[in-house]
Amino acid sequence: MKKWLLYVMAALSLMGAGPSSRTVPPVLRLHVVANSDGAEDQRVKLQIRDRVVAYMGAWAQNAGTFPEAKAYAEAHLEEIEGIAREVLRDNGFDYGVTASVGIYPFPDRTYGSVTFPAGDYYAVKVDLGSGQGANWWCVLFPPLCFLPATETEEGWQEEDGVEYRSFFGELLGLYQ
């Protein structure tokens, strides 16, 4: 009897260990990966970031739910690729661009007082060329890419001293 109970307990403990048990939070990130770490590839990556964030800003700020934001991103991947191609072409680059929506690993990231722990998140990923360079990311939904912040050597700093919170951030327990 004790042996049977031990087997059942072991089996139950393994059931949650597989990849199907991972929980991906209802957060949509933007992830732009440069062709290389070269100065020009990094510069054009930031230009593409700015254009893609501007394009996605209106709908991301108005998205009511995570599924709505994700569906919109999936429906507009060609436009995102087109924006990136245009910036590359304007800067004399001819390598490719691939935009996709999927689940990708991310390290810890803090936006003001909001910390996203390392883990797997949904993201709109824009790979430039070979995608071997340093990357840049932000959170599209809830819309944290669009907060008035500046990047300094110490990290992201709020400009106006206001602490920004969202209903979804509260719901996800992202504020400490």
What domain range is 68 assigned to? 24-172
Has residue 7 been placed in a domain?
Answer: no
Which range of 72-86, 104-118, 149-163 scores highest in mean pLDDT? It is 72-86
Say which residue the tokens 């048990």 belong to: 21
Residue 68, in any domain of the structure = yes
In a domain, 1, yes or no: no
Q: Considering only 16-20, 126-130, 167-171, which range has the smallest mean pLDDT?
A: 16-20
- pLDDT confidence tier of residue 127, bands split at 50, 70 and 90: very high
Q: Are 48 and 56 in contact (CB under 8 A)?
A: no
In a domain, 42, yes or no: yes
Mean pLDDT throughout 15-41?
79
> Does 59 score more than 60 pLDDT?
yes
| Residue 13 is assigned to a structural domain of this protein | no
DSSP-H helix ranges across 16-134: 39-62, 66-75, 77-90
Is pTM, for the whole model, over 0.85?
Answer: no
- pLDDT greater than 70 at residue 16: no
Residue 10: inside a domain: no
Q: Is residue 50 part of a domain?
A: yes
* Residue 160 phi, psi (nearest 5): -110, 5
Q: What is the mean pLDDT of residues 6-14?
A: 34
Residue 6 domain flag: no
The count of domains in the chain is: 1
pLDDT at 5 over 50: no
Torsion sign over Cα 56, 59, 61, 64: negative
